[in-house]
Amino acid sequence: MRKKEKVKLVLDTLEKVYGSPKVMLNYTTTFELLIAVILSAQCTDVRVNIVTEKMFKEVNTPEGFAKLSIEEIEKHIGSVTFFKNKSKNIKKCSEQILEKHNGQVPMNMEDLIELAGVGRKTANVVMGDILKKPEGIVVDTHVKRLSNRIGFVKNANPIIIERELMKIVEEKNWFRYPNILINHGRARCMARKPDCHNCEIVDLCLYGKKVTKI
C-alpha cells in the first residue's frame, strides 16, 4: 500500500473513533488561542485550560496583557512549565500585536513567527484551528512518535518529519493529521506502554504488527 493511501486509511479509521479533530485548548477568541498555545509548550492542555479559565476572566486582550508587568503575568501562569520565560513572551507578543498589527492576531506564517514566543508549530496550530488552513503539519511528541511507529517516516528531527509528511499527507489534511494522531497518542499509542493489542490501526502500523506477533 502506498504511503498516501495508508495515511488516508489511518485518518479515516481513527476519525471514527475520536470524531472530527479539534484543538483541546479552550478559547473564545483568536488571541486567547494564541496565548493558550504559547502556554502549552511542554505543558499539558489540561493544565493550560485550568490556568486560562481563571486568567481569561480577568485579562484576555493584547491591551490587557501589555498593561501588566511581567511579574503580574507570572502570578497568573505560575503553575505552567517555564512560566517566567512565557510571561516575558506573552507581554512582548501582546505589545507587538498592538504596535504592528492594530491589535489583531495576524493570520499568516511570516507575521506570526515574528511574534515573541511563537514558532512554526504554534503558528500552524493557530492557523489550523481558526482557518483550517495551516501552512504545514504540527509535529509534537505524539505526532513524532506515531508517525515513526506507523512507518510514515523514519526520523527524529521534527523539521525533517514535517517535510516528509507534507509529501504524503494531502494539504487538506494538514490540520486533521496531527490532531487525530495526538488523540490516538494520548488514548492508545502511549510512549511507554502502547496498547497495541487493542489498537484500531494495528494492521496498518509497522510497530504494532511486530508487537502483536510476539
Q: Which residues contact 67 (CB under 8 A, 6 or more apart)?
A: none
Q: All 3 cell numbers of residue 96?
A: 507587538
Residues 169 and 116 in one domain: no
pLDDT at res. 20: 84
Average pLDDT over every residue of 8-28: 92
pLDDT at res. 57: 97
Residues 113 and 72 in one domain: yes
Q: State what percent of residues in the chain have pLDDT above 70.
A: 100
Per the structure, the complete domain to which residue 114 belongs is given by 30-131
Give the confidence band of 179 by pLDDT, cuts at 50, 70, 90.
very high
Q: How far is CA 96 from CA 51, 90, 125, in A?
A: 23, 10, 19
Residues 7 and 77 in one domain: no
Question: What's the pLDDT tens digit per position in 89-132?
Answer: 999 999 999 999 999 999 999 999 999 999 999 999 999 989 88
∠ CA(81), CA(155), CA(46), 5° rounding?
A: 25
Final residue of a structural domain among 94, 109, 131:
131
Residues 34 and 123 in one domain: yes
Mean pLDDT (the chain, rounded): 95
Average pLDDT over every residue of 19-46: 93
Residues 9 and 37 in one domain: no
pLDDT at res. 214: 58
Q: Let me know: does 175 contact 5? Beta carbons within 8 Å.
A: no
The answer on pLDDT for 35 being more than 90 is yes
Residues 121 and 179 in one domain: no
The answer on pLDDT for 211 being more than 90 is no
- Rounded Cα gap, residues 64 and 32, in angstroms: 12
Question: What's the pLDDT tens digit per position in 125-163?
Answer: 999 989 888 889 999 999 999 999 999 999 999 999 999
Q: What is the CATH number of the domain that holds 203?
A: 1.10.1670.10
Final residue of a structural domain among 131, 159, 189:
131
Give the confidence band of 81 by pLDDT, cuts at 50, 70, 90.
very high
Establish whether 140 is a catalytic residue. Answer: yes
The total of structural domains in the chain comes to 2
pLDDT at res. 191: 94
Residues 183 and 155 in one domain: yes
Q: Let me know: does 68 contact 91? Beta carbons within 8 Å.
A: yes
Residues 54 and 126 in one domain: yes
Residues 60 and 95 in one domain: yes
The answer on pLDDT for 22 being more than 70 is yes
pLDDT at res. 183: 93
Q: Which of 91, 121, 129, 144 is catalytic?
A: 121
Q: Which of 3, 45, 92, 140 is catalytic?
A: 140
Q: What is the CATH number of the domain that holds 99?
A: 1.10.340.30
The answer on pLDDT for 213 being more than 90 is no
pLDDT at res. 63: 98
Residues 38 and 109 in one domain: yes
- Nearest alpha-carbon partner for 13 in 212, 205, 164, 148: 205
